[in-house]
Structure 1
């Protein structure tokens, strides 16, 4: 299966008055065509920075792309000019941002915000663009789209604003959709509707999706592959079944233990991951999870492990899986 996106050895830093924040440190992953890939991990692990790097939305300075490639349909996005990126954003790659209330322009009607991308990237009249905007609002499940197209964002509920954001991101039928926590702050009923909507649209259009989320239940329900990030690095990848059923990295195992499960005793307490992530202004030379890992060894302190093949589609970055560690068992 071919990949629509490949991120190779991506390194992104932010230069601040306090020093250099090494937000993304050698990230590698790929997105197969027509599939959904989840990026999971704690706040501050580099998920959103990686997503915005794909769109080249990070301001330079303070951001700096220090190393790596982001190949979209074989072309390196990081080598593109701003003019080229303007042709790609919204047209070939769409993005649903985390907070629709701050992402939507409060002074502009929702319909105008949807038609903006259509008019920029397609050769259509304003009347045709408006008609397409109404169709998109209807497609994402907003009632009375003919009326809603002329309303402002503050006249929409939270769920409707998120649906409007999806309509904007899908206006030009992009090949890749990046959803940065699209269900944050929504109640579970609306959350389920939004996720079902995204899945239905993917089945109809064949769009590939990158879903950034903290919710492992959402990942299990909607995604095909998982990328687990920690302290700016990818520490485990695999299919949803592989990562959920047989997690290989101690951090991934900790995430699974901290989430309630239907097959567990209700009286059994959840087990949190003790400690805090490392300071990315001065990250450790060794494994970033060393200070919080119950299996930590001396080699973990000074040397960062390489990615080891676990079988199937699964890889993990942990010294426990090194051939020499297995030989000493």
Structure 2
């Protein structure tokens, strides 16, 4: 089997604030294989976007800093945590691309979309201005925009939200990156356009064999695209597995809660969706034990005293929960927690 395109090991990222240290990412580890779509899910503030932006080295330093012992190995040769900003500029854009949450604030309002796409192409590839602009038009065609030549001469405010998101995707693909990070790519779009963007990303991934990290809290999007899933809570990975593992055989109570909060067409409980009671912990002072213990209906004494390690369910599936310990009481997964969630 070929080596992973990305290996993240013990990633810890903190923010130095006036009131103290916010431990945003606390020991995250995962791998991404070539041509794979890996989804990172969790509620707002769990650290998924900070993880993604750290891989691209886009978080502001200061106030953020990557703690010693963290490792992000890209393509088997780039240790991202140790690259200078100059070195990172060659990797970013040329080998990595990113689709941001809000295209209106990510695109330059004073430049035409063609100029913005061609700028990155000319920076990383030895082409003329005319060749770069033609490549920009080709990319707009690839992402499903009609009249591509005309669109290159338009400004972001002249385009709809869905069209701006397509421009963002074209920008991220400008230099044929090996890794594409999509951070909430459908958040600001209506349902119809969301479906079009998901279909577009799937089609591009199949055509280019690009590896994708999908950051989202929308489990419907995950079900449509992902091969593997990482569930994050309070800056840590609490469960990881294949798409089927997470949707049909989840093992962590937090994952159960996420799945039970999703509306479903095949259930009569849609009028009574369940939420997870309580609030996430304060990452200025994370709890000693399991971060989810205060909100977990199955919490035991050890949960509040010792942070659990990952227990293996299978070769690709693990859960950081003391309920997985051989001596723990047997707890059945809540009825219909994930059954049919992506049907």
Bucket of the pairwise TM-score, normalised by the shorter protein: over 0.9
> Which residue is 2:161 aligned to?
158
1:79 to 78, 82, 101: 82
The number of equivalent residue pairs is 329
Question: Which of the residues 218, 225, 243 maps onto 2:228?
Answer: 225
Task: Summarize deviations over 1:82-119 as a string: whole Å, max 9, x none.
Answer: 11100011110000011100000001111010001100
Q: Residue 247 of structure 1 corresponds to which residue in structure 2?
A: 250
CA–CA distance in structure 2, aligned partners of residues 110 and 221 of structure 1: 29
Tell whether 2:39 aligns with 1:38.
yes
Matches within 5 A, 1:1-329: 1=1, 2-67=3-68, 68-74=70-76, 75-266=78-269, 269-325=272-328
CA distance in 2, matches of 1:5, 1:169: 18
Regions of 4+ moved over 4 Å: none
Deviations 1:112-148 (A, max 9, x none): 1000110011011111001000001111111211111
How far apart in 2 are the matches of 1:118 and 1:300? 51
Aligned to 2:338: none
CA RMSD in angstroms comes to: 1.5
- C-alpha deviation, 1:242, in angstroms: 0.6
Q: How far is the alpha carbon of 1:188 from its aligned partner?
A: 1.0
- Residue 324 of structure 1 aligns to a residue whose secondary structure is coil
CA contact (8 A) 2:12 2:26 kept: yes
Q: CA deviation at 1:154?
A: 0.3
Q: TM-score, normalised by structure 2?
A: 0.94
CA distance in 1, matches of 2:15, 2:210: 31
Deviation at 1:263, TM superposition (A): 2.5
SS at match of 2:272: coil
The 3-state SS of whatever aligns with 1:311 is coil
Secondary structure at 2:98 match in 1: strand
Report the 3-state secondary structure (helix = DSSP H, G, I; strand = E; otherwise coil) of the residue aligned with 1:25: strand
For residues 240 and 262 of structure 1, the distance between their equivalents in structure 2, rounded to whole angstroms, comes to 19
Aligned partners of 1:92 and 1:323: how far apart in 2? 44
- TM-score, normalised on structure 1? 0.97
